[in-house]
């Protein structure tokens, strides 16, 4: 999977815990090491975001190539998620990171499949068409609701949408193209282990047991009864996920370069050196 570090998250987490000496009071040296690791990861992520932004802005996109355009769209989503994660890290609002990273991984799965699975873009098209069809059916049932009047287009535009959806469904039926469940997408991307581990972990952090989520998001001081909302996420939890985010970004640039040689102006050898340098620096802690 190129630079993506899903498989190494466990070892990275163990390494981070070793630095912190979990189970014992943290020494000043351990605290300094964790702070330095976080600063290094912050710079690593920012560097990869900038490389991706320059790469996609200077990419030689071909008008009319639907798959290439869709790849660029998925890639831009990945960059936007990573940039939002960076902002949250720097403002110390870490809790929403899990949901953003979950969406980022979903986009990365689509990104990988678009390059390797024939007609994958058509399965995404029928998936979107089916979802939109459900929305339009609701609109027909509740046309007088004020929200429906705000968020749905004019009658003529809706009629055209229904025709477009019918055409997409007809082609999908003729070519036996179906929308895919999320687990099927991961399996096609050869990422089934990631689905049952990292993706499930991110999902539980976002949509898990209510009492557990309350415990994570609220900090109650038993002495004063004060409640602090959105408690800080431990660096030990975040560090391997930040590294993984940077790895996904690097993997996207490498994958596009291999998929369409000449499309990007990015120096892949330099990119590999940057990733290698940061990873060695992190592992030296």
Residue ranges, the chain, pLDDT below 50:
1, 7-14, 16-24, 210, 229-232
Give the pLDDT of residue 219.
Answer: 54
CB 89 within 8 A of CB 40: no
| pTM for this model (two decimals) | 0.83
Give the pLDDT of residue 283.
Answer: 75
Instruction: Convert the pLDDT of each residue in 195-251 to its tens digit.
Output: 999 999 888 877 655 455 555 555 555 565 555 544 445 555 678 888 899 999 999
Give the pLDDT of residue 12.
Answer: 46
Q: Which residue has the tokens 């120096």?
A: 267
For the chain, which residues make up each domain, given as ranges? 9-118+207-283
What is the token pair recorded at 67?
A: 């798959």
């Amino acid at each position: 999977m190129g630079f993506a570090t899903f498989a190494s998250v466990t070892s990275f987490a163990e390494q981070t815990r070793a630095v912190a000496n979990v189970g014992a009071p943290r020494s000043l040296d351990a605290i300094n090491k964790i702070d330095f690791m976080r600063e290094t990861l912050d710079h690593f992520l920012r560097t990869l975001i900038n490389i991706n932004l320059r790469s996609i802005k200077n990419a030689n996109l071909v008008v009319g190539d639907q798959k290439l355009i869709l790849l660029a769209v998925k890639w831009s989503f990945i960059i936007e998620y990573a940039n939002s994660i960076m902002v949250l890290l720097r403002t110390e609002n870490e809790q929403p990171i899990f949901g953003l990273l979950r969406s980022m991984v979903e986009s990365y799965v689509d990104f990988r499949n678009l390059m390797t699975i024939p007609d994958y873009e058509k399965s995404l098209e029928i998936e979107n068409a089916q979802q939109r069809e459900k929305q339009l059916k609701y609109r027909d049932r509740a046309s007088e609701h004020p929200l429906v009047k705000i968020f749905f287009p004019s009658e003529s535009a809706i009629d055209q949408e229904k025709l477009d959806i019918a055409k997409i469904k007809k082609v999908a039926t003729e070519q036996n193209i179906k929308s895919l469940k999320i687990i099927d997408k991961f399996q096609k991307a050869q990422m089934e282990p990631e689905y049952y581990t990292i993706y499930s972990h991110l999902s539980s952090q976002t949509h898990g047991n209510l009492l557990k989520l309350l415990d994570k998001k609220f900090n109650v001081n038993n002495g004063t009864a004060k409640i602090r909302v959105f408690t800080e996420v431990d660096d030990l939890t975040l560090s391997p996920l930040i590294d993984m985010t940077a790895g996904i970004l690097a993997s996207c640039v490498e994958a596009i370069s291999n998929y369409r040689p000449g499309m990007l102006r990015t120096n892949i050898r330099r990119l590999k050196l940057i990733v290698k340098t940061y990873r060695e620096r992190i592992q030296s802690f």
